[in-house]
Amino acid sequence: MGNKGALIRNLLGIDRFDAEFARREIIDKSLLTWLVEVNGLVVDARWLPVPVQHELVRAGIIPYVPGQGEQ
């Protein structure tokens, strides 16, 4: 099963924890999904102001603005 899963991931060009194909509960719990670099510091995007989060969504860096659903 593991080999077939790897084959499918390679054929589709997706990663194991690709946010586009993950359930919302998994995305919410995954810290790596929300980490962004701001002025050389790595921060959780959920701590940033909402307008900045909207820009990150538009840029495709985070999947959605938490608390506001998918955009």
Residues 33/63, Cβ–Cβ less than 8 Å: yes
- Cα–Cα distance, 65 to 53 (Å, whole number): 6
pLDDT range class, residue 70, cuts 50, 70, 90: low
Higher pLDDT, 71 or 6: 6
Which residue ranges make up each domain of the chain?
A: 23-63
Tell me the pLDDT tens digit for each residue of 11-64.
Answer: 988 877 777 777 888 888 888 889 999 999 999 999 999 999 999 999 999 999
Check: pTM over 0.75? Answer yes or no: no
Distance CA 12, CA 42 (A): 30
Residue type, 11: L
